[in-house]
A and B are shown apart, each in its own frame.
Chain A
Amino acid sequence: MNRVVKAVLWAIPPIILLVVLPRLVLAYVPTSYVSSLRSYADIDLSSLVNGLTIFGIVFACLSALQTWAYDWSIAKPVASSLHVITSYVLLLFLIGIGNPLTFGTTRITMSLSSFGSSLGPSSITIDLVSTFLAIVVGIAVALKILQRGMKFSEAKKLHALDLAEEAGPSQAAPTVTTVVTPSAAFPRTHNRFCTNCGKPPVEGAQFSTEGNISVNGRWVCKPASESADCCHG
């Protein structure tokens, strides 16, 4: 299947789960319930659904990018890491009922005076603390990002091998140098072949290196005079 088509298909589930479904549910909840929830328990369903919409759009974009990118492309681990981080923030958002900054604590405050009691400004706050979950899932997120990095590194190496195989053996020849046994014709300083012509230099020609010979340097010969040929025929 075409990668672009696959990317578009993978973008659809987050849109359905986080954008369409919550809005559909909110449309069926009576307005009186929504306003009661807001006034009694300080929970704004509309802003909750708007938040889920934003998450849904972000997930859709990241899923599409993850599917479209090649394994050896930098876009893949970046999109994958952002996807994992966004999932974590969504978890905190859901636990905090719209506020991810509570870091794993669900806090519901009910105003008792809203119930028509004869009390003054009284309230009851219920806290459900799950900071343990937030911390440990955060550690798992960090490990997943590490795993994504390792996958990218391995995919990149494999891709380099694939490219080298496709290029074939002929292109490797110019960088190969052969060491010959020094002799009277080829003194110690001239025990290399010229990288330009692939031949040993003539006597009297200057033979020198270009670049770092240990890494990617080349042996090249320079003729004794401009009209002379430095390489053996």
Chain B
Amino acid sequence: MSNASSVKRNKKGKITYSWKVKGLGWGIVAFEIVTIILWLLAVYGNGAVAVSMVSHAFGAATGGQTEVLNTTSGSTISVPVIGAGFFPVSVSVDATFLNNQNQTVAQVNDKVMVSPGQTSTLVLAAPNGLLSSNSTLSSYHVHADFRISSLDGLVGMGVELTFVPSGGGGSS
């Protein structure tokens, strides 16, 4: 009955619970506030990395930092990833190119983990002919998956694209 001694009624007849119950209640409130803060920080970090990658991609169109290197086996696209926010962020790209017979023609993928304030590079190696000027990208079925996540994948965003050319061609 030790708890009962700290449980009593106030002047209005309502129950005043023990310090254990009150403490647990306040602990739950603090726990939820910390959860929301961590979630917002993770979303902010993911968003900041995504924005910086998009800005570099657009910058590449006007001579930015994304490099396209032609090698003997194909082309390599290097995209800088700048860490932002408060948590390490994981960035992954996975693109599969299929021909009309549903056979895999090429697979381009890479995954990097970048800590806040650090820079890493996403390297996408495309085989010969895929990115050449006379390549017929529009003839490929493309399945691409781009993901940014933090907190062990528990907070993140992803874009999944599936392109199937029509009979007359036409690219995405």
Does B155 lie at the interface of the complex (its beta carbon under 8 Å from any beta carbon of A)? Answer: yes
> CA separation between A130 and B27, bound complex, in Å?
23
Which of B3-11, B55-63, B65-73 has 4 or more CB atoms under 8 Å from chain A?
B3-11
Given contacts A122-B163, A158-B15, contact A135 B154 (CB under 8 A): yes
Chain A residue numbers with a CB within 8 Å of B42 are 132
Pick the contact of A129: B8, B24, B149, B162 (CB < 8 A): B149
B64: Cβ under 8 A from any A Cβ: no
A26 at the interface (CB under 8 A from B): no
Q: Quick check: B166 and A157 within 8 Å, CB to CB?
A: no
Cβ of A229 under 8 Å from chain B: no
Cα A151 to Cα B28 in complex, Å, equals 15
Complex Cα distance, B160 from A65, in Å, reads 46
Q: Is the interface of A mostly helix, strand, loop or mixed?
A: helix
> Is B21 in contact with A150, judged by CB distance below 8 angstroms?
yes
> Cβ of A140 and Cβ of B31 under 8 Å apart?
yes
Contact A130 B7 (CB under 8 A): no
Q: Decide if A157 touches B3 in the complex (CB within 8 Å).
A: yes
Q: Contact residue range for chain B?
A: 35 or more
User: A123: which B residues are within 8 A, CB to CB?
Assistant: 161-162
Bound Cα distance from A154 to B25, whole angstroms = 15
Q: How far is the CA of A137 from the CA of B167 in the complex (A)?
A: 49
- Within the assembled complex, what's the spacing in Å between the Cα atoms of A140 and B154? 17
A73 within 8 A of B: no
**A-chain residues with CB within 8 Å of residue B15 when the two chains form the complex:** 71, 151, 154-155, 158
Answer whether residue A37 sits at the interface, using C-beta atoms and an 8 A cutoff: no
Residues on B with C-beta less than 8 A from A132 are 35, 38-39, 42, 151, 154-155
Which of B1, B160, B168 has a CB less than 8 Å from the CB of A118? B168
Number of contact residues on A: which range applies? Answer: 35 or more
In the assembled complex, B103 has its CB within 8 A of some CB on chain A: no
Give 1 or 0 for each of B8-26: 1 = CB within 8 Å of chain A CB. Answer: 1100000101101100110
Q: Which residue of B lies closest to A123 (CB)?
A: B162
CA separation between A131 and B4, bound complex, in Å? 40
Q: List A81-140 residues whose CB lies under 8 Å from chain B.
A: 112, 117-133, 135-137, 139-140
Inter-chain contact B166/A147, CB cutoff 8 Å: no
Q: Which of B92-145 contact A (CB under 8 A)?
A: none
28 contacts between A and B (CB under 8 A): A71-B15, A112-B172, A117-B170, A118-B168, A118-B170, A119-B166, A122-B162, A122-B172, A124-B162, A125-B160, A126-B160, A127-B160, A130-B155, A131-B154, A132-B154, A133-B35, A139-B31, A140-B35, A143-B24, A143-B27, A143-B31, A146-B24, A150-B24, A151-B15, A151-B21, A155-B7, A157-B7, A158-B7
Query: Interface of A with B (CB < 8 Å)?
Result: 71, 112, 117-133, 135-137, 139-140, 143-144, 146-147, 150-151, 153-155, 157-158, 161
- 17 further interface pairs, Cβ-Cβ under 8 Å (given A112-B163, A157-B1): A71-B15, A119-B163, A120-B166, A126-B160, A127-B159, A128-B157, A129-B157, A132-B35, A132-B39, A132-B155, A136-B35, A140-B32, A143-B27, A147-B25, A154-B15, A158-B4, A158-B8
